[in-house]
């Protein structure tokens, strides 16, 4: 049985976007059953957890003798077992991986820069001065993403892949703003991806764990 680690509790702003959601969604798309190992705040700093996840983050993926960390690596591993995430065609498969990495490398760092300012440093003078520039940089990246998406349903055309999964979860980090959704093309893209039954099951499972642990 696959086990993934997740937090028992997070602040309201983080509910529905903690990165174990990516893995839950991938498992739901792939039709693979799993269970969660819920940890409390502070458990991630204990030696036994750090032995599995050096940075003390969630999720950890465990199945048999295999233990993985980093949501991108885990989603790719799950994708190797499911055409729902990574197509068999080598070229289409490579493009799906390309978009997954683009989400993590070309989009997420700049989105998270804004998120950190808004969530943790909003009242700091330096953050007030830095935010406009940070937003402007994100908007340039999002404009390029929107242009590449064009009128296609998904990043590589008519087919949803692991690249769309990773990109959607990355864009949702800015759900507290209209930075992404002010672009009608990207807003429709997020809505299209999150309307998938597998996403809804994954989100309900994450929120359900928080509710059950309350």
Nearest to 169 by CA among 86, 112, 128: 112
Per-residue pLDDT of the chain (214 residues; tens, 9 = 90+): 999 999 999 999 999 999 999 999 999 999 999 999 999 989 999 999 999 999 999 999 999 999 999 999 999 999 999 999 999 999 999 999 999 999 999 999 999 999 999 999 999 999 999 999 999 999 999 999 999 999 999 999 999 999 999 999 999 999 999 999 999 999 999 999 999 999 999 999 999 999 987 7
Determine the 3-state secondary structure of 50 from DSSP.
Answer: helix
Of the candidates 135, 129, 146, the one whose C-alpha atom is nearest the C-alpha of residue 110 is 135
Residues 68 and 44 in one domain: yes
Q: Are 41 and 7 in contact (CB under 8 A)?
A: yes
**Is residue 69 domain-shared with residue 167, that is, in the same domain?**
no
Are 79 and 8 found together in one domain?
Answer: yes
Q: Are 99 and 167 in contact (CB under 8 A)?
A: yes
Cα angle 199-203-207, degrees, rounded to a multiple of 5: 175
55 and 94 in a single domain? The answer is no
184 & 116 share domain: yes
Same domain, 204 and 150: no
By the 8 A CB rule, do 152 and 88 touch?
Answer: no
66-69 and 34-39 as β-strands: parallel, antiparallel, unpaired? unpaired
> What is the domain-level CATH number for residue 206?
3.40.30.10
Number of helices (H), then strands (E), in the chain: 9, 4
Mark whether 120 and 209 lie in a shared domain: no
Residues 138 and 127: their CA atoms lie apart, in Å, by: 16
From residue 31, alpha-carbon distances to 68, 79, 123 in Å are 19, 11, 44
Q: Over the Cα atoms of the chain, what is R_g?
A: 17
Confirm whether pTM is higher than 0.85: yes
Provide the residue range defining the domain that includes 38: 2-84+198-213
Q: How many domains in the chain? A: 2
Place of tokens 């990207």: 186
Tell me: do 156 and 187 sit in the same domain. yes
What does the block give as tokens for 144? Answer: 């390029």
Q: Is 26 exposed, middle or buried (0-12, 13-18, 19+ CB in 10 A)?
A: buried
pLDDT value of position 34:
98
């Amino acid at each position: 049985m696959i086990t993934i680690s997740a937090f028992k509790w997070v602040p309201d702003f983080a509910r529905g976007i903690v990165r174990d959601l990516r893995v839950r969604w991938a498992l739901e798309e792939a039709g693979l059953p799993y269970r969660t190992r819920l940890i409390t705040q502070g458990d991630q700093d204990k030696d036994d957890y750090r032995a599995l996840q050096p940075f003390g983050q969630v999720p950890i993926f465990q199945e048999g003798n295999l233990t993985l960390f980093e949501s991108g690596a885990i989603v790719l591993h799950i994708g190797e077992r499911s055409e729902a995430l990574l197509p068999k065609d080598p070229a289409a498969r490579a493009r799906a991986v390309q978009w997954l990495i683009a989400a993590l490398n070309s989009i997420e760092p700049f989105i998270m820069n804004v998120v950190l300012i808004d969530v943790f440093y909003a009242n700091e003078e330096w953050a007030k001065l830095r935010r406009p520039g940070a937003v402007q940089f994100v908007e340039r990246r999002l404009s390029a993403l929107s242009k590449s998406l064009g009128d296609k349903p998904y990043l590589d055309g008519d087919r949803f892949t692991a690249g769309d999964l990773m990109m959607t979860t990355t864009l949702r980090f800015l759900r507290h703003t209209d930075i992404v959704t002010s672009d009608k093309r990207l807003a429709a893209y997020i809505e299209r991806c999150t309307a998938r039954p597998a996403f809804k099951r994954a989100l309900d499972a994450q929120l359900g764990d928080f509710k059950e642990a309350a």
